[in-house]
Structures are given as C-alpha cells and as structure tokens.
Amino acid sequence: MEQIRYTQRICGDKNKINNFLEDKRVGALSMCDEYGNPYVIPVNYIYLNEKIYIHGMGSGKKNRIIETKPSVCFTVFEEFGTVVDIVPCKCDTSYFSIVIMGKMFLVKDINEKTQVLTKLVEKFMPNFFKNPLSNQFVEKYKSSFDKMPVSVYCLSPEILTAKENPIDMEHMFKNMKQI
C-alpha cells in the first residue's frame, strides 16, 4: 500500500487514535462488489480490542459483498473547520482521520457476538437497558425486516493510518454571519 506522502500530517499517537475510534459513532465502510463497482455505506460501529465491529440485518448487499470479497476499507473522520491564510490557495482544513484496511468476517462465536451487541447498545443508548444482552437472546433474535439472525462483522486492521491537521484557534475561519 502507498504510504502517506504528507508526512507532517501523520498521527502516530496510539492513545489518540484509540480514543478517537472509541468515541466516534459512524464510519464509512467501503467495499467492491463482484462486478468491480465500489460500494460505500455509513455504519454505526464500536472499536473493541483494537478491532472494528459493525452489525446489521442478516441479509442484503453488504452481507453478499463481504461474503465474496471480504477486503474492505473503513474510514472515520472529523472536520473541525477551515484554516485561513492570506494566500487563498493556502487555506486548509483542520481535521482528524483514520483509514483502516483489512478483511471483514462474520462473527460466529456467540460469546463474542453477544459482547459486541451489548457494547453497541451501551454505546448508542447508555443506561437505557438495565441488563446486558444474553447469549440466549442473541441466538434467538431475528431482524424484523428479513427474519434472519442479526449479523455482526469484525474488521481486524491489517493497515491503519491516521492523519491530522490540529485546530489552530488563531487561524481558524470565523464566519461573520455566525458571529
């Protein structure tokens, strides 16, 4: 894989990367279907044990693609605003982004699947449910749409790159309409 050329923007701070991935809620999952067509969808995710986990219905385009072509790219980013410069073409964007490449696979182990679904519920609805999910519940639960068991997928990063252009409050654009 090609290395990041803009080396000044590389972030190698493992704690910052882990905290960012744990905190964010949505990433873009990029795949390539059997015809070579790109397919990118936003998905909720959790970052657990240095892996990305997603869930969804037990059927559909995403499932079919992952089954036949498990190589994926997963991107999470946040844009903080525009960095100004006296030269228009030197204006920039303040951001943090992570790109992960690897193979995604269906989680079959019921303990891992239950743990992931429990963590997803905790992340997106903290303190809403009193009890964690049980293996028995997860084994029996079916999607109301396709009546299939809910799928949980895992992406174990083979390549992870992080880039950032930190916020520089002195040079951030302030829209006069917003002031």
Q: What is the DSSP string of 34-82?
A: TTS-EEEEEEE-EEETTEEEEEE-SSSHHHHHHHH--EEEEEEEEEEEE
More confident residue, 105 or 12: 105
Q: Report pLDDT digits (tens) over 65-83.
A: 999 999 999 999 998 877 8
CB atoms within 10 A of CB 111: 10
Domain 7-168 falls under CATH 2.30.110.10: yes
Look at residue 1 and tell me whether its pLDDT is greater than 70. Answer: no
* Mean pLDDT to the nearest integer, 9-20: 92
Q: What is the DSSP string of 100-158?
A: EEEEEEE---HHHHHHHHHHHHHHHSTTSSSS---HHHHHH-B-TTT-SBPEEEEEEEE
Provide the phi-psi class of 50: left if phi over 0, else alpha when psi is between -120 and 50, else beta. Answer: left
User: Where do the domains of the chain lie?
Assistant: 7-168
pTM: predicted TM-score of the whole model, two decimal places? 0.87
* DSSP-based three-state secondary structure for 87: coil
* Mean pLDDT to the nearest integer, 9-31: 94
**End-to-end CA distance of the chain, in Å?**
44
Least confident range from 45-54, 86-95, 107-116: namely 86-95
